[in-house]
Each structure stands twice: as structure tokens, then as C-alpha cells.
Amino acid sequence: MRIGVLAVQGAFAEHIDVIKKLGEEAFEIRNTGDLDIPFDGLILPGGESTVMKKLLHDLDLFEKLKEKINSGLPVLGTCAGMILLAKNIDSGEESCFGTMDITVKRNAYGRQLGSFVCTDSFADEDITMRFIRAPYVTETGIGVEILAEHDNKIVAVRQNNQIATAFHPELTDDHTVYNLFFRMIENKAAK
């Protein structure tokens, strides 16, 4: 399978490394020309969501990627990527793609706890989660499945073709999140 990783800002190189390590193909999406060759899944990485949102518009990628997500392209959003997918941001900021029926709180852990690592259950498996100035989910709409909670806060969700995590799976050796994403892509291909 071939996975496109949004590569305008943030931790895209780390995602590409992991995907290749897991034996799949990955490429950078930097401009509209990169969308010419078909691909099976999209990753929206961690970074700074406000910067990524601006660049998505400036580079003319926004509408094209939103259309793909809406038409069922499997997508994994991590940290800032979760914010890009969210329909609502609790501060009232304007959303980006808004394709996932969740409300997120940005920089939700405050300065003290800005970055931390923990182990918690993700889709019934204990995994290591690395959080960096992470959001969490404050509300979920109908059809949104909660995949993980930490400290009673929702930190991973799935809705149809979309998975979002508040933590950074590309920065640990645990590949559970990728395996779930790959399975989502395979299931779609089998239909």
C-alpha cells in the first residue's frame, strides 16, 4: 500500500520512516502535483495545526485533500493532525477539515504537563503513548468510537475512514496504531 504523508510542517519524516520500516510505501505530500499518483491512505502529522492549516490553503491542498477524506480515503491524524480533522475546537477557533465529529481542546495539558509518556489501553491493547503539547477530545458525536482514554480524557478516536490520536505513534516503537490504520486500508480495498 502507498501512504501519503502531509509534509508541509511538523513530524512527517518520522511517520515516513515508520511506514517504510513496516514494509509499506510512503511519500511526502508537499504540493498538488504530489496528488497525481494514486494512494491508499493519508497521514496528517503532529506539528503546529495553525501553521499547517494556513499552508494547506496557501498550497491549494485543502479542498483536494478534504474531498478525498470525504470520499472515504483512510486518514490517520496524530496530535496536530487530530486538530485538523476535528469539526470543532473548544476555544471557538475555526476548524480545518472538520470531517470528524469531535470537539478538541488544543494544548490541553497546560505548560507543566506539556510533554509526557504513559502506558494506557488503545483498542484493547496496552501501548506507550507520547504526548507533546497535545490536544484531547472533549466531545464526540454519534458514530465516533473511542479507542483510548488517558486520565479520563479521550485521546484516540475512530469515525468511519478516520483515526485520530492526541499522542505521537511515530515517536515510539509501538506500531499498534499503524497496524490498525493499515487494517482499515486493507478492509477498504477488500470491499
| Residues with catalytic roles | 79, 168, 170
Query: Of residues 43, 61, 73, 83, which one binds ligand GLN by CB under 6 A?
Result: 83
| CA 55, chain centre distance (Å) | 17
Grid coordinates given for 191: 470491499
State phi, psi for 28 to the nearest 5 degrees: -85, 135
Is there binding between residue 132 and ligand GLN (CB under 6 A)?
Answer: yes
CB 69 within 8 A of CB 42: yes
Coil, strand, or helix at residue 9? coil
Report the nearest approach of ligand GLN to the CB of residue 142 (Å): 26
Report the nearest approach of ligand GLN to the CB of residue 21 (Å): 21
Q: For residues 1 and 147, give the distance between their C-alpha atoms in angstroms, rounded to a whole number.
A: 24
Query: Of residues 9, 49, 159, 161, which one binds ligand GLN by CB under 6 A?
Result: 49
Report the nearest approach of ligand GLN to the CB of residue 78 (Å): 7
For cell 486500508, the residue is: 185
Report the nearest approach of ligand GLN to the CB of residue 79 (Å): 3
Is there binding between residue 14 and ligand GLN (CB under 6 A)?
Answer: no
Binding mask 107-126 for ligand GLN (x = CB under 6 A): x-------------------
Q: For residues 102 and 86, give the distance between their C-alpha atoms in angstroms, rounded to a whole number.
A: 5
Residues β-bridged to residue 4? 27, 42
What residues make contact with ligand GLN under the rule CB under 6 A? Answer: 46-49, 79-80, 83, 106-107, 132-133
